[in-house]
Structure 1
Amino acid sequence: MATREELVTELRELILGELIPLDPEELKDDSPLVDDVLDSLGIAEVAVFVEEHIGRPLAAEEETRATFASVDSVVDFIVKHG
């Protein structure tokens, strides 16, 4: 299992490198992702990232705005369920 810091780095690289053209300083780990940063396709990509790290598909009740609210919340979910 990756460390929390490694997960933050990987997720930030996914978001900044593949999903949205922002400077790294523009994306804070507690910045809102849903609506403000990611569209539905971006959220789907983050969901795949989560599933790869927890080793299973997300349950419908886990696919909430709270789960994908920020980089911190996504990483917290992985740490808790991984």
Structure 2
Amino acid sequence: MGMEYWYNTKTGRVEATDDPERARSADLMGPYGSEDEASRALETAAQKTAQWDEEERKEHEWRTGDADSAAWDNNPLND
């Protein structure tokens, strides 16, 4: 297996597996196979989240038959 890279959300820097200063916390995203992939971690995560949200919306529409039902909030405290 090759070198792995991590994106540190706290510092905004890419860190390598063999970096003795690499953070070991929830601030890391990865591993990624290249520095370039790691540097785009936030962009990749945003794209995946948007894709999952759209898939969930389509599934909800299929289940309910109502394209707008997912936007409806039945919590009276949110009025």
Q: TM-score, normalised by structure 1?
A: 0.27
- TM-score normalised according to structure 2 size: 0.28
